[in-house]
Amino acid sequence: MRVISWNVNGLRACVKKGFHEFLESCGADVLCLQEVRALPEQLDEKTRNPAGWHTAFFPAVRKGYAGVAIYSREKPTRVLTRLPEDEFNVEGRFIVAKFGRLSIASVYYPKGSGNARDNSRVPYKLAFYQSVYRALEKLRATGPTYVAGDFNTAHTEIDLARPKGNMKTSGFLPEERQELTRWLDNGWTDVFRKQHPNEPGHYTWWRQWGGA
């Protein structure tokens, strides 16, 4: 099974840049999307229900914000979208598609920086991490579980281009990184680092300014 994760930064805009062409050529069995930024009814029919795919969406209450989705070739036996805390559910950040015993999650973890870049959302971010961890630990007890998503945190210095300059920046704070360590300490596997241990220069996001 091939699973792809993609923060599309707005699915409606992504459609104009070749989303459907990618969907048909990527060879994925499951495509996990983050930052969909649209209600299902705001999407055109081809995007909402593309031929040959089953889709599940969990949007934020606030329009044009966050939202996650899962596209799959096989119809899920069940779709889960809610965490115990409503403060997380209103932001549309968590969805799980179950295929028998197998669970595949698409998760859009929040940034901790806040609008004023004062790290004011770090407590919310950490609480979200912990809620997701508890939910997926329960699923893992019932069968294989795969977590895809935008974690909004670099785990170790090798995962960040300028670690020394970001020690006090949300996305690389010790308490955020510890939440990722928790997964590994309890038997989860970082699939990418398992295949590419100690390899520098692998990043998933670059600034659009500053010569990135």
E strands in 11-136? 30-34, 54-58, 68-72, 78-80, 94-99, 102-108
Cα(59)–Cα(35) distance, integer angstroms: 9
Tokens 């930024």 -> residue: 37
Pick left, alpha or beta for residue 210 (phi over 0 → left; psi -120 to 50 → alpha; otherwise beta).
left
Question: Of these residues, 29, 150, 185, 190, which one is catalytic?
Answer: 150
Q: Are 73 and 104 in contact (CB under 8 A)?
A: no
Q: List all residues 6 or more positions away from 51 whose beta carbon is below 8 Å from its beta carbon.
A: none
Tell me whether residue 185 is one of the annotated catalytic residues: no
Q: List all residues 6 or more positions away from 58 whose beta carbon is below 8 Å from its beta carbon.
A: 67, 68, 69, 81, 92, 93, 94, 95
What amino acid positions are annotated as catalytic residues? Answer: 150
